[in-house]
């Protein structure tokens, strides 16, 4: 568990011309050459993957932040990647499950997380999707996932997950299915 601070991006120079910013209005920065730079939360995704026995695929994080904590497959969007494409790519990378093996992505909710990256706290806007596996599969943990295993939805404790956006999404799914 960790708390989420307000968006607070550490930015001193214009990425277009390299000059110092002369004005900051909340998340909008303006340099001496009138370049306007928006500092928004970084888009990321995660997936609640459920098997035919209504068990949720849970992973343990292999890396900081939150190394060893419970997580769901997911991660940052790469460049100009859609949330859906990022979700499918991360699922394939982290647990070896491809999009032909599950139903269409169903949006659950989004939430703001903070993410400690090399000493900087990034604000992340995480979108969480829900999918059902067509058949039983054995996940192959890789990349950011140290372990991957199924937990009955009824036994999932949302507060045990590292990121608040995932806690919120798991609580919604549990409420819908209780």
Residue 154 in contact with Zn ion, rule: CB under 5 A: no
Please report where in the chains the tokens 């404790």 appear, as a residue: 157
- The correct pick among 29, 31, 57, 168 for binding Zn ion (CB under 5 A) is 31
Q: How far is the CB of 12 from Zn ion (least distance, A)?
A: 12
Region label for 66, one of left (φ > 0), alpha (ψ between -120 and 50) or beta (otherwise): left
Structure tokens at 162: 């590292």
The binding track of 95-134 with respect to Zn ion, each residue x by CB under 5 A or -, is ----------------------------------------
One of 27, 35, 132, 174 touching Zn ion (CB under 5 A): 35
Contact residue for Zn ion among 8, 23, 24, 33 (CB under 5 A): 33
State both tokens at 173.
Answer: 């799914």
User: CA–CA distance from 103 to each of 49, 98, 129, 170 (Å)?
Assistant: 10, 11, 11, 18
CB of 18 to Zn ion, least distance (A): 7
Would strands 28-31 and 21-25 be described as parallel, antiparallel, or unpaired?
Answer: antiparallel
| Residues marked as catalytic | 147
Q: Which stretch binds Zn ion (CB under 5 A): 34-42, 89-97, 122-130, 150-158?
A: 34-42
- Cα-Cα-Cα-Cα dihedral of 9, 14, 19, 25, to 10°? -60
The answer to whether 17 contacts Zn ion (rule: CB under 5 A) is yes
Which residues of this chain interact with Zn ion, rule CB under 5 A? 14, 16-17, 31, 33, 35
């Amino acid at each position: 568990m960790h708390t989420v601070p307000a968006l607070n991006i550490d930015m001193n120079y214009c990425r277009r011309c390299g000059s110092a910013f002369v004005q900051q209005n909340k998340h909008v920065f303006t340099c001496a050459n009138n370049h306007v730079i928006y500092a928004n939360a970084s888009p990321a995704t995660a997936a609640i993957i459920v098997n035919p026995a209504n068990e949720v695929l849970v992973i343990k994080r292999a890396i900081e932040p939150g190394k060893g904590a419970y997580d769901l497959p997911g991660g940052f969007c790469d460049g100009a990647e859609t949330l859906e494409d990022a979700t499918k790519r991360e699922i394939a990378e982290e647990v070896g499950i491809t999009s032909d093996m599950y139903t269409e992505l169903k949006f659950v909710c989004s939430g703001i997380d903070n993410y400690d990256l090399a000493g900087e706290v990034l604000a992340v806007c995480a979108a969480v999707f829900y999918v059902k596996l067509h058949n039983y599969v054995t996940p192959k943990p890789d990349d950011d996932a140290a372990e991957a295993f199924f937990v009955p939805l009824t036994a999932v404790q949302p507060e045990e997950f590292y990121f608040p956006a995932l806690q919120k999404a798991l609580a919604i799914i549990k409420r819908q299915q209780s």
